[in-house]
Structure 1
Amino acid sequence: MKKMKNNSYRLMLWLMVSIGTLGCKKYLDAKPNKQLATISSLTELQALLDDHTRLNYQTVYAAEAASDDFYLTDQALNGLSLEGDRRIYNWQKGNQFEGTVNGWYYSYLGIYYGNAVLESLPEIERTSSNAIQWDNIKGQGHYYKGSNLLNAAMVWALAYEPVTASQTLGLPLRAAVDFNVPSTRASLEATYQQILNDLKNACRFLSVQQVHVMRPSKAAAYAMVSRAYLMMNKYAEAALYADTALQLKSELMDYNNINATATNPFPEYGMEVLHHISIANPAILNQSNATIVDELYNSYAADDLRKKIFFTKLNNRNVFRGNYSGQSSLFFGPAVDEMYLTRAEGYARTNRLPQALADLNALMLKRWDKTKTYVPYHSSDQTTVIAWILAERRKELLMRGLRWGDVKRLNNLGYGIKLERRYNSSGVVLEAMGSGFAMSIPETVIDLTGMPQN
């Protein structure tokens, strides 16, 4: 890993000058000057993609900060240094993203990296001797474009509804590194089609095996396509791509073998991780401030090992520590357990109930205390099975940046989930179909581009 970081570091002068990382105006207006440095080999392109500080350890966390899985006391909320995070927490539109280095910046930085690689790659001849590496690099470029745009869509766009998506505002679709091309908002339909196009190209070109999970693999790309289709409520497609990912990697951790007393119970780069994406705990989400809501904590059965492994007590508060990052940083990448639950939901919603229950029970057997009897989920009622899967999805995938998107897509199906801040004096409510589910685009971006605001 150290060698990859060193290789990427020497290329950063070129990229930083190209995108202007010192400020939002420079970021939007900079004119790439490839004469400053020339990428002339696949090794250099791969080194650019191995810039883990920017591509693996920075992502938008606003979706998690706005979710209803945790709460802040008044004291914790008032103690946050970022007013924008307080506004995100209380679903207040406007000034949610402070400064120039924020979630929007990092989302479009990843897209920029992908474009930079995809534009430079044709300058290098694809030959029989370099074809595998050449294709793998192309796949990574598409992956970072598609996955970052999907993350952005979950934050800054409303939930996908096929009837209205072509008339609903989506996101800017940056197709090249030239920042002289003005940014305009595409439709939500075009946004999701771009996401799917890039991620499916990633599926096509990525290698099955990578040297490390810091690099996205073919299974990771299939997983992200599955995640995108689930956000679109396209369940047959979500199940298909989840299944394809699981054909490549399906082993689940047995939580009976996890040390429940460890500060960070899970191993770094554990067996369920498909692509390692994490973010250092922002103040709004770290253990000193974020307390898991009682109704979620109490929903775990006594013999469910997740209750012991995911949580610890801090000042008599239930706080989360079950990060698949293996550290205190939050894990936001795709993983095997997510694919089991996505495939199960897809199967259930297409009335393949035995297969859905098989996936759900396979997961739960690995989460149950083996000294206790596990009673498998069993029902022939579709509504009941779907409800079970959704409940386990929330319990399994908390603090992974997914709950916000799940609430949005489920409300489009009529679930009527309204979010409430009931644990502090703010007492705010976000109605099920409220406009607050599409957060405010940073004002600096609106001022510079003239794009319409949410």
Structure 2
Amino acid sequence: MKNLIKLVLLTLIITAVGCEGFLDEKPNKSILVPETIEEFEAIIDNYDRLNTSPVLSFMFADDYWVDNSTWANFSPWQQNAYKWSDDPYLPNESTLDFSVMYRKIFSANVILDKINQKPDWDQNRMAHLKSRALFWRAHGYFELAVLFLPIPEQAGDSQEIRIPFRTTAEFGVQKEMEESSKIFDLILADLNEALPNLPKATNYPTQPSSYAAHALLARIYLYLGNEEQAIFHANKILEGNFELLDYNDLNFGNAFPIPLFNSETILFTNMISQSSVSRNTVAFIDSTLVKSFKENDLRAALIFENNRGASSFKGNYTGRQDIFTGIALDEIFLILAEANFRMGNNESATENLLKLMIKRYQDLADPSELSIDLEFILEERRKSLLFRGQRWMDLKRLSVHDSFFTTLKREVNGEMISFETQPENFIVKVPQRQYDLQ
């Protein structure tokens, strides 16, 4: 019966919010409408719908390159994204990232709308359900904001740049387009409202816990440039039952030495399945980046594998080659190191980073011989979070907060494509199809 309910609800979500016109399409009245709390819990536990992150953030980043034959086999939007087009989707193309994130938001809004009707459900169970819906709505909007909006009140911000704003699943009621500050107000409000009713422990890290909410807030506040709040929320994670993996103890003979749902995993999400973009025979890692890993850096052996004379991604926190975009304990220590250093807490920053490095290096050098500054911390972040879906976000925030500008380059069929990391260049245009639906 439970599987039947999930199947019916999955059909509901697919039909109501399919890629073509998902923001305002009228649902089929013949489909079963969920009523019981069990049915709504099935919606919010739908891993395939909720625990996903966009592909565009990966495609835009400089974690990889592809050869010309691979690029020729990309779909049009993938080809455009690889060449850093700020408007990659053709007018009639399915807007994958945009639609999938709004499906997540729609699922959350379905639940929140029902709860606002004050159903006769167990109050504690309903509060937990609401907190999960708020969490995933915030998660979806943040993923969208990284791609389609500027960082609020920072370089490149403009009230002219907006995305569709939905806080209800009722069709045709809400058609606003909102700017970055309003979206981030909702993201932070949702997560803070969710926190008191999220459990500390869950059956699986695919389900949001209070630690997952703190972790997401730490990531968001670092992105916003609020180091004090990033430190506050990151420190909350250290109170939990999470433990850094010691890479010295892993079995490097295994195909995927880092196990799925390991002791570092706080929140598990992965990139939307796009093997045509990220599989090891397609995406290769720049040789300069590969050479930046020292011989005693165990991450290199875990991350890289030789493929046709080049280096490709082996896999990590998904237990296979899929791209992990969730939050693990290593990222928390990197957030603490960076935020503390920016706040002038150099001793704490060094301590945070060394706790991570000792688990990642073989025969780590005497800490007193290491020159740990912001550049060093960011280099460690780059290496630890390679192929984790965070690089585009990092390039964007560094260009805004640090005026860190560089030029990314890719060669396609003899043409050199360049991308200047200026704040205004990080804003992807809302697909025209979605403007047409407003």
TM-score, with normalisation over the residues of structure 1? 0.89
Retained in 1: the 8 A contact 2:200–2:209? Answer: yes
- Cα pair 1:91 1:436 within 8 Å, conserved: no
Query: For 2:384 and 2:222, how far apart are their aligned partners in 1?
Result: 17
Give 2:79's aligned residue: 86
Which residue of structure 1 aligns with residue 304 of structure 2?
311
Q: How much has 1:358 moved relative to structure 2?
A: 0.8
Task: State the one-letter code of the partner of 2:422.
Answer: M
Q: Supply the distance in 2 between the matched residues of 1:394 and 1:4 (Cα, whole angstroms).
A: 43
Counterpart in the other structure of 2:96: 102
Counterpart in 2 of 1:185? 177
Partner of 1:282: 275
Match of 1:235 in 2: 227
Q: Distance in 1 between matches of 2:296 and 2:317?
A: 21
Deviation for aligned residue 1:63: 0.7
Instruction: Report 1:326-337 matches (<5 A).
Output: 326-337=319-330
SS at match of 2:173: coil
Q: For residue 13 of structure 1, report the CA deviation from its aligned partner.
A: 3.6
SS of the equivalent of 2:267 reads coil
2:415 is the counterpart of 1:426? yes
**Shift in Å, 1:206:** 1.1
**Aligned residue in 1 for 2:377:** 389
After superposition, residues 141-220 of structure 1 pair within 5 angstroms as 141-162=133-154, 165=157, 167=159, 169-220=161-212
Listed as ranges, the matches of 1:7-22 within 5 Å are 7-17=5-15, 19-21=16-18
Post-superposition Cα deviations, 1:31-81, rounded to whole Å, max 9, x if no partner, equal 35788534333222211111122112x43110111101211122222232x
Higher mean C-alpha displacement, 259-268 vs 207-216: 259-268
1-side partners of 2:68 and 2:118: how far apart?
57
- The residue aligned with 1:440 is 429
What secondary structure, in the 3-state scheme, does the structure 2 residue paired with 1:318 have? strand
Percent identity over the alignment is: 25
Structure 1 residue 211: Cα displacement = 1.4
Contact 2:155 2:423 in 1 (8 A): no
Show the 5 A alignment for 1:388-407: 388-407=376-395
1:114-162 deviations in Å (ceiling 9; x for gaps): 11111112445577xx444222211110111001111111111234444
Aligned match for 1:409, one of 369, 390, 397: 397
The corresponding residue for 1:452 is: none
What is the alpha-carbon distance in structure 1 between the residues aligned to residue 100 and residue 353 of structure 2? 35
Cα offset, 1:378, TM superposition: 6.3
- Are the aligned partners of 1:8 and 1:49 in contact in 2 as well (CA < 8 Å)? no
Match of 1:135 among 124, 127, 130: 127
1:320 and 1:423 map into 2 onto residues whose CA distance is: 21
Shift of 1:183: 3.2
* Equivalent position amino acid for 2:9 in 1: L
What's the secondary structure of 1:430's corresponding residue?
strand
User: In the aligned structure 1, how far is the partner of 2:41 from the partner of 2:340?
Assistant: 38
SS in 2 for 1:39: coil
Letter of the 1:24 partner, please give it.
E
Secondary structure in 1 matching 2:306: strand
The AA in structure 2 aligned to 1:432 is T
SS at 1:313's partner residue? strand
* Contact 1:170–1:185, Cα closer than 8 Å, also in 2: yes
1:43 paired to 2:45: no
Tell me, what secondary structure is at the counterpart of 1:24? Answer: coil
Cα 1:214–1:377 change in 2 (3 A) is farther
- Residue 61 (1) aligns with residue 52 (2): no
Distance 1:4 1:268, change over 3 A: farther
Q: What residue in structure 2 maps to residue 119 of structure 1?
A: 113
Q: State the one-letter code of the partner of 2:60.
A: A
Q: Are 2:25 and 1:30 equivalent residues in the alignment?
A: yes
Cα offset for 1:335? 1.4
* Deviation at residue 443 of structure 1 after TM alignment: 2.5
Contact 1:110/1:148 (<8 A) preserved: yes
Q: Secondary structure at the match of 1:10?
A: helix
Q: How far is the alpha carbon of 1:7 from its aligned partner?
A: 4.4
What stretches of structure 1 of length at least 5 have no aligned partner?
A: 450-454
Closer, same or farther in 2 for the Cα pair 1:311/1:162, shift >3 Å?
same
The alignment partner of 2:214 has SS state of helix
Give the secondary-structure state (helix, strand or coil) at the position aligned to 1:421.
Answer: strand
Unaligned ranges ≥5, structure 2: none
Instruction: Report how far residue 219 of structure 1 moved.
Output: 0.8
State the AA in 2 paired with 1:219.
Answer: Y
Give the alignment partner of residue 218 of structure 2, picking from 209, 215, 226.
226
Partner of 2:293: 300
Q: CA deviation at 1:386?
A: 1.2
> Against the structure 1 CA distance between its residues 325 and 273, is the aligned structure 2 distance closer, same or farther, given a 3 Å change threshold?
same
CA separation in 2, counterparts of 1:439 and 1:429? 16
Match of 1:291 in 2: 284
Residue 248 of structure 2, aligned match among 244, 252, 256 = 256
Contact 1:64 1:401 in 2 (8 A): yes
Do 1:155 and 1:437's aligned partners in 2 also have CA atoms closer than 8 Å?
A: yes
1:163 is displaced (CA, Å) by 7.1
- Residues 239 and 373 of structure 1: CA distance in aligned 2, closer, same or farther (over 3 Å): closer
Asked if 1:359 corresponds to 2:352, the answer is yes
> 1:423 Cα shift?
8.2
Output the CA distance in 2 between the equivalents of 1:172 and 1:270.
36
Shift of 1:445: 1.1
Answer whether contact 1:142 1:202 (CA < 8 A) is retained: yes
